[in-house]
Amino acid sequence: MNRMFAILLSLGTFAASAVDAREPRFHWHDKGFVPFQASQLDPRFSYMMYVPKDYDEKAEKSYPLIVLIHGTERAPHVYLEKNADFAEKNDVILLAPLFPVGTHGGKDLENYKLIEYKGTRYDLILLSMVDEAMAKYRIEDNKFSLFGFSGGGHFAHRFFYLHPHRLDAISIGAPGMVTLIDDSRDWWVGTRDLYWRFNARLNPKAMQSVKVQMMVGEEDTDRWEDEIEKGSPYRMPDTPGASYNAAGNDRIERLKTLRDNFKEHGIDVQFDLIPEAGHDETQMFPTMQKFFQKHLEASRSSNADPAKSDTEGAED
């Protein structure tokens, strides 16, 4: 009996040693620039990540997540490359999705910008990617920060209407057209049919708790004089305001209209007009980084000193 016990004990010790000797779950490609990963919800879509190189799988330290949404040209790798140093210095994980052209045929260039396109909910695709990242990495809370430029700015501010409870902060960069909080007009011009279209209700109180930045280059002044063409997802011929210039003659004017609309609904906005900048995301990144860094520092300070957070809240 004692001999049998000794054999079983030795087998258990061997098995434990074998487990300990296995390769760790993380590999070299799970940190730094993480290769494109196919979405487990819908493999037509994928995402890249940047994870600080000192990330330790066995540690307890958690990291904020910032999601970067590409523009129409679809270059998420550029967004990661230009912001990797920021991620390293500020202990932040970055995620950049790819919403490719051709998932619904050859003429879906605008597909992700209005959130839903031919039955695909791009907001839910993004949330599934975020959940995948949170299942693998130690990401703080259940929230993240969001940046989008141009086409990504389209997506970002519309995502904000549907999921403010998932956001800590949002930076909206130079969208070509904007959706206003307006219960007299339907989506995409207004938000009257938000519930019927997306099964989500506008939540101004939740939106008011999110830090909001809007920015655009002072030279981003291209104008579009044509009518919205037939077949465009933006074409709503019977809806007032469904035109390129209803909210302003260029991206600067339209973003100021969106800013004023937010303020009318109690949503504070930091508005940045970038000197000597045109329609170029790389010229937006430094200002975006300063905005997120300020938010991160304030959040970390509050977490380190809850009493200070209460005092700041009372002063606000």
Per-domain residue ranges for the chain?
A: 25-315
Domain 25-315: CATH superfamily, name plus number: Alpha/Beta hydrolase fold, catalytic domain (3.40.50.1820)
Model pTM score? 0.88
Four-CA torsion 188, 191, 196, 197, nearest 10 degrees = 30
Q: Which residues pair with 98 in a beta bridge?
A: 46
| H runs (alpha helix) in the chain | 2-21, 76-90, 122-136, 151-162, 194-198, 204-208, 251-264, 285-304, 306-315
pLDDT of residue 2: 55
Burial per residue of 1-35, b for 16 or more beta-carbon CB atoms within 10 angstroms, e otherwise: eeeeeeeeeeeeeeeeeeeeeeeeeeeeebbeebe
Residue 27: per-residue pLDDT: 79
Smallest CA-to-CA distance from 37 within 10, 8, 72, 76 is with 76
Task: State residue 70's pLDDT score.
Answer: 98
For the chain (316 residues), the mean pLDDT of every run of 10, in chain order, is: 49 46 70 95 97 94 97 96 98 98 87 95 98 96 96 98 98 97 96 97 97 98 84 84 88 98 98 97 98 94 65 45
Instruction: Output DSSP code: residue 15.
Output: H
> What pLDDT score does 7 carry?
45
What is the C-alpha separation between 89 and 52, in angstroms, rounded? 9
What integer pLDDT is reported at residue 52 of this predicted model? Answer: 97
